[in-house]
Structure 1
Amino acid sequence: MTQALPLAGIRVVDYSHFLAGPYVGRCLAALGAEVIKVERPGSGDAGRQHAWILDDQQSGYYLQLNMGKQGVSVNMKDPRGKDFMQRLCDSADVFIENYRPGALDKLGLGYAELSARNPKLVYCSISAYGHTGPDSHRAGFGLIAEAKSGIMQMVGTPGEPPPLLRISLGDMYTGIHAVAAINAALLGRVASGRGQHIDMALYDTLVSMHEYAVQCYTLSGGQVVPEQTGHDMPTSTLYGVFRAADGDLVIAAQVDDSWKRFAALVAAHGGPAGFADDTRFHTLNGRNAHRLEILGVVKPWVAARQVAEVLALLDGVDVPAAKVQRIDEVLADPQIRARGMVVEQQHPRFGTLHLPNLPFRFSDCDTTVRQVAPDLGQHNAQVAEKLGFTAAEIAAMQADGVLFSA
C-alpha cells in the first residue's frame, strides 16, 4: 500500500445520531478523513443506548458506526460551547447532520449561518422527507420510509402483512448515497471554490431503488401494480427461494442458457422425462406463463435433497445458487474471511471486537479502520487545542462542563 487514503486532509464534523449520519461519518473516516463526532453532554448520541450492549456499558451499535472518529461533547447552551462549535465548523470541510429540518438553525448550526462563515463547507443533511415538500416537517425513521416507498408492500407472503426487513435499508442506502454526494461536492469545490448544501431524504433514496416496479406501473399505463409474491419472482422464472430437506437455498436460473442447463440437470436426476426439451420453457415469457407448472416440478425435486447436494449439482452446471445462511454461517464463510469483511479491533475495556467492515477495496491503500469508537468526550482537549484554545481555557471549559466527558 503506497498511496495516502483518498480523503486524507479533509476534516468532517459529524453532528449526527443513530444510524444514517454516523454511517456516513464512518465511511468518510475509513476513506481517510479526520472525523470529529460531536455529542450532547450526558447521554450523548442516542445510538449509545441501542443493542447489543456490552457489560451494561457500551453499545455494539455505536461501536460499529463510530469507529475511526474522534469524540467531543459540547454544551451549546454556554457561549464558550457555541464558540467552540463555530471554530470547529469554520475549520471543517464537511458537516453531517440528520435532524429534522430547521432544528439546527436554532443552535446556529444551520447551513445558512455556517456557510456564511465558511463558504467552502460541504453541508450534508439527512432527514426522513428532505428539506422541501409538504412532509418535510415530519419526523421519520427508516421503517417509515420503507413503508411509504412501496418496497415493504412487495415483500412477504400474499395475503399477510409484510415483514420487517430486519436491516436498516433506508438509513444505510441513504447513507452511502450521501457519501457519494459529499465526495462529488468536494471534487466540485476544487473548481468552484465553494461548498454546497446536500439534502438527502430516506424516502427519496428508497423510491430511487425501484429497478422495475415504477416501470411496470408507468409503462403499462397504470395497469400493473407489483404485489407480494412470496418466495419467487413471477416475472423472472426461475428465480426464488426453495426448501430442501435440511434448509433453504436460492436458485437463479432465470436466464435462458442457465434455465436450459438447470432443466437438463433436473431431468437427468429424477425429474420428469422431457422437462429439459419442453420448448414452452425455453423463453422467459414462456416460463413465466407456465410458472406454476415449473414450480410443481422444481419444489419437490429440491425438497427431496440436502442443501449441499443441490448446491453441488447446480455448481456442476454453472447455475447460480446459494444456501440461505444464518449470521453465524456468514461470519465463518471463507469468502467473507478472505475479503476481510470482519474487522478486528482491540478495545481498552472489552478486549477483541469483531465488527462488520466496509466493502471499500482500493489497490493502493487500506481502508480498514482499527481505531475503536470514542468514549463520550474522549478527545475534547485534543480537538480544542487544534482549534487554538489555550490550556487554561480548555481546563476551565472542562471544569465547568462546557466540554463534557463521561
Structure 2
Amino acid sequence: MSAPAPLAGMRVVDYSHFLAGPYLSRCLAGMGADVIKVERPTGGDAGRHHPYFVGDQSGFFLQQNMGKRGICVDVKKPAGMEFVRELVSEADVFVENYRPGALARLGLGYHALARLNPRLVYCSLSAYGHTGPRSAKAGFGLIAEAMSGAMAQLGIPGEPPPLLRIPIADMYAGIHGVAAVCAALLRRATSGKGQHIDLALYDCMVSMHDYAIQCFTLSGGAVLPQQVGYDLPDSTVYGVFPAKDGYLVVAAQVDDAWRRLARLIGGEELAADTRFHTAAGRNAHREEALRRVKEWTSAQASVTACIAALEAIDVPCAPVQRIDEMLADPQITARGMMIEQEHPTLGPIRLPNLPFHFSNYRPEPMRVAPGLGEHNAEIAAELGYSSTEIAAMTREGVLYQAEPAQSEQAKAAQGGTS
C-alpha cells in the first residue's frame, strides 16, 4: 500500500499566473498538496490564452494547472477580498508571481497575510526580486535569460543568439520555489512560524552558471566566454556532430573515452597520438580532433549506426531527437513521463508528467486542470459559506464561473441530431 503523499494535508493558495508560479504549485500538487488556483473574472489566468490550442482549451494551461482545484473571485469587491482572506487564513502556502508591490497595494502582500496567518509560507516569484534597482521592472523568462549572460553564449559566433524554445528561467525559478517552500515548511514544523520567500528569475539564471562566471572572475577578467557553436572549446570532444540522416551528441572529453573513440575512428595510430592524450592537448588541437570525429560520423550509414558503434565501446552518446522521437522512446514510457487524462470536453489528452519518484508513495492520477471557477461552490462550502450565501455571491459577481465549453466533437454530434 502506498504511504501518504509527502505534502498530504498541506493547502496551497495559487495566486499566480502564466508559468513560474503555476509550475511551482503544480509540483506541490504532484506531491499531494491541495492546491487551489485563484483566478480573476472573466478571463482568468493569462495562460488560458496561450497556445497550443485544442478548440478553446490551452494545452499550456492544462499542463501547468493539472492537479489543482479552481476558484474565480473578484477581489476588488469587499466580499471577494474577504473570501480570499478566509481562504488564506486556513492555508499553509501562498504562491504569487506579480510585480513586487502589486499585491501589497491590493491588500494581499506578505505582511498583511502574515498578520492574518502567522504560519503562512508566502512565496513570491518575479523577474528581478523584491529588492535592488530593477525590482520594480516587469519581466519574463526571456528577459532573465538575456540578462544573465547565458543567452550571449548560445549559437554560432557572429550570429544573433537563438531562443532556447524551452522556458529555462521560469521552470528553474519554479523548481527553486518548490525547494524553498518545502524547506520553509520544514522550518515551520519547529518554529511554528511561516516566512516570505523572495525568488527572482534573474537570480536563478545567474545561479545556474557552472563555468562561465568562474572563467571570468578567477581569470581576473581575462577570459570572457563567448558563443561557441556546436561544441565546448574547453571540453574537447563534447558536442553535436552530423550523420547522414540527422545529428548526434558525443561526450568523449574524458581521457579514457577519447582513447576508445580515437581507436574507433582512426585506429591505433590516432589512439597513440600523444597530442590528444590529455584534455589540454585535445583543446589545443581541437579543430583536428573535431574534424576527425565529423568525418567518421558523416561516413556512417545513419545516426543509429553511429550510436551502436559508440555504445559498443562505452563512449557516451545520444541521438538529437525530435519531439515525436522522444515521445516514442521506451525510456519515457518506462519512467511514466507522459500522463493520459480524460478531459470533460476534449476526451483523452496526453501531457508531460513531473519527474519526481518516491520509493514509498505512488501518486494518484492527477485531476484535469480546472475550468474557470469550477470549484467555487465546493471551496466556499469548505470555508463555511452556506448555499444561500454562495448563490448570492455568484449572483453579485463576487464568484464567477465560466460556462463549460463543448468539444468540437460534441458540437458536431448535437448538430447531427437536431
Match of 1:373 in 2: 369
CA contact (8 A) 1:360 1:367 kept: no
Determine the C-alpha separation between the residues in 2 that align with 1:46 and 1:144.
Answer: 18
- How far residue 366 of structure 1 moved from its aligned partner, in angstroms, is 2.0
Q: Which of 336, 342, 351 does residue 338 from structure 2 map onto? A: 342
Q: Which aligned pairs between 1:241-260 and structure 2 lie closer than 5 A?
A: 241-260=240-259
Q: Which of 283, 300, 303 does residue 288 from structure 1 map onto? A: 283
Paired amino acid for 1:16: S
Paired amino acid for 2:27: C
> What's the TM-score, normalizing by structure 1?
0.98
Match of 1:318 in 2: 314
Is the aligned partner of 1:179 residue 2:178? Answer: yes
Report SS of the residue matched to 1:403. coil
- How far residue 368 of structure 1 moved from its aligned partner, in angstroms, is 5.7
Determine the C-alpha separation between the residues in 2 that align with 1:67 and 1:135.
Answer: 33
Determine the C-alpha separation between the residues in 1 that align with 2:225 and 2:193.
Answer: 44
- How far residue 398 of structure 1 moved from its aligned partner, in angstroms, is 1.0
Is the aligned partner of 1:389 residue 2:385? Answer: yes
Deviations 1:92-151 (A, max 9, x none): 000000000000012210001000110000000000000000000000000000000000
CA contact (8 A) 1:342 1:356 kept: yes
Determine the C-alpha separation between the residues in 2 that align with 1:25 and 1:399.
Answer: 30
How many pairs align? 401
- How far residue 300 of structure 1 moved from its aligned partner, in angstroms, is 1.3
Determine the C-alpha separation between the residues in 2 that align with 1:111 and 1:121.
Answer: 9
Match of 1:50 in 2: 50
Paired amino acid for 2:43: S
The worse-fitting range, judged by mean Cα deviation, of 359-368 and 285-294 is: 359-368
- How far residue 231 of structure 1 moved from its aligned partner, in angstroms, is 0.3
Deviations 1:365-399 (A, max 9, x none): 12364310000000000110111111111110011
Match of 1:356 in 2: 352
Match of 1:224 in 2: 223
Determine the C-alpha separation between the residues in 2 that align with 1:365 and 1:84.
Answer: 34
Paired amino acid for 1:42: T
CA contact (8 A) 2:30 2:366 kept: no
Match of 2:202 in 1: 203
Is the aligned partner of 1:124 residue 2:118? Answer: no
Is the aligned partner of 1:330 residue 2:326? Answer: yes
Determine the C-alpha separation between the residues in 2 that align with 1:265 and 1:38.
Answer: 59
Report SS of the residue matched to 1:345. strand
- How far residue 348 of structure 1 moved from its aligned partner, in angstroms, is 1.0
Root-mean-square deviation (Å): 0.8
Match of 2:159 in 1: 160
Determine the C-alpha separation between the residues in 2 that align with 1:108 and 1:226.
Answer: 45
Match of 1:169 in 2: 168
Identity percentage of aligned residues: 62
The worse-fitting range, judged by mean Cα deviation, of 388-397 and 65-74 is: 388-397
Determine the C-alpha separation between the residues in 2 that align with 1:221 and 1:75.
Answer: 54
Report SS of the residue matched to 1:264. helix
* Residues 286, 368 of structure 1: alpha-carbon distance in 2 compared, 3 angstrom cutoff: farther
Report SS of the residue matched to 1:385. helix
Q: Which runs of 4+ in 1 moved over 6 A?
A: none
Determine the C-alpha separation between the residues in 2 that align with 1:369 and 1:212.
Answer: 40
Match of 1:78 in 2: 77
The worse-fitting range, judged by mean Cα deviation, of 227-236 and 358-367 is: 358-367
Paired amino acid for 1:340: G
